[in-house]
Amino acid sequence: MEVIDRFLRACRREPVDATPVWFMRQAGRYMPEYRAVREKYTLLEICQQPALAAEVSLQPVRSLGVDAAILFADILLPAISLGVGLRFAKGEGPVIEHPVRSMSDVQRLRRVSPETDLAYVMETLKVLRRELNGLPLIGFSGAPFTLASYLIEGGASRDFARTKTMMYSAPEAWHALMDKLSTVLASYLVAQVGAGAQALQVFDSWIGALSPQDYIDFVQPYSRRVLDCAQATGVPVIHFGTGTSTLLPAMKAAGGSVIGLDWRIALDDGWSLLGDDVAVQGNLDPAVLLADRPVIETRVRDVLRRAAGRPGHIFNLGHGILQNTPVENARAAVDMVHEFSTLQVGAA
């Protein structure tokens, strides 16, 4: 069994020699090599220059020994193509210059052709496929709800008041926006597979803000369209969200061959809610990587014990790696996952 395809095998629920592991946001400011690149270039410059984006994607592959690389990009890049303006403000996070708040704002959104408008993303994927020597490459996009929430709020939000106001009070505008975004995101993901992505992750990071019924009424059909198109390419598709303990069955029904779990639910409980016919990814609390080595060890063992050697587990954090994470703790966690899961299989 080739070590190199552990990740793809686990996505397909096939047996593996050791549990594959990668971390969401594994490239970023916690790494000195990343900070060195960021001293010279802005985040958008890195994303838009394929040589730089590919270099940054490879940094965690080299220094952590993870089982997959993820494209370096951002879920908000399609906002540039949609014509709403995107900048990253120091300390504030992303800012959308022209938020989408009415039907006429929705109608003004530009038509997007991912192969040309986001050609730099496609080029980054091509460069990465050449440089990864067979290590799997994950492409990604936001899910319609999470992307819509940034477009409507104009940036990050705590309560999603404007997003929900559009949902409840201007449902026609909401559905028109979700219809456009799901079409754009579906074609963006399909284009990424054409450019070399061997798996896809759809980030619905903030979907936990919704009740199950609102998810079903206002989001699920659009997520389903994106996930169906992504899955039709034949590559594994990871469907991820946070705060999703009550949404998991509805998310699974929307699609994805792997469902991402955050740390708010125990991995085995989340997997029982989902059923055995789907793979799971997760779900160490990212804050555990700030703790001492024995705490990390106990928590890594606990996630693996709950996965119980079942085929179809990809080890990851429950959300993105935190900025002040010591690199050596991230590296130690990767080694522990490989070591402890090998022993588990050997002992069975």
Active site residues: 25, 29, 38, 74, 150
CA-CA distance, 11 to 14, in Å (whole number)?
8
By C-alpha distance, which of 172, 260, 180 is closest to 226? Answer: 180
Q: Which is nearer to ligand CP3, 63 or 342 (CB)?
A: 63
CB 97, min distance to ligand CP3, A = 15
Q: Which is nearer to ligand CP3, 140 or 340 (CB)?
A: 140
CB 343, min distance to ligand CP3, A = 29
Q: Which is nearer to ligand CP3, 66 or 229 (CB)?
A: 66
Q: Which residue is nearest to ligand CP3 (CB)?
A: 205
DSSP string, 275-317: -TTSEEEEEE-GGGGGS-HHHHHHHHHHHHHHHTT-SSEEEEE
- Dihedral angle sign, alpha carbons of residues 324, 329, 331, 333: negative
Q: Which is nearer to ligand CP3, 26 or 48 (CB)?
A: 26
Query: What CA dihedral angle connects 233, 238, 244 and 249, to 10 degrees?
Result: 50
CB 185, min distance to ligand CP3, A = 13
CB 156, min distance to ligand CP3, A = 6
Helix boundaries (H) for the chain: 6-11, 32-40, 43-48, 50-64, 77-82, 103-108, 114-117, 119-131, 144-153, 161-169, 171-194, 212-218, 220-232, 248-254, 267-274, 293-307, 327-347
CB 248, min distance to ligand CP3, A = 17
CB 59, min distance to ligand CP3, A = 9
Q: Which is nearer to ligand CP3, 225 or 319 (CB)?
A: 319
Per CB under 6 A, residues contacting ligand CP3 are 24-29, 38, 43, 70, 72, 74-76, 88, 93-94, 140, 156, 203, 205, 319-320
Q: Which is nearer to ligand CP3, 27 or 210 (CB)?
A: 27
Burial letters for 144-159: b for 16+ Cβ neighbours within 10 Å, e otherwise?
bbbbbbbbbbbbebee
CA-CA distance, 275 to 332, in Å (whole number)?
31
Q: In Å, how far are 106, 140, 231, 296 from 203, measured between CA atoms?
A: 22, 7, 15, 26
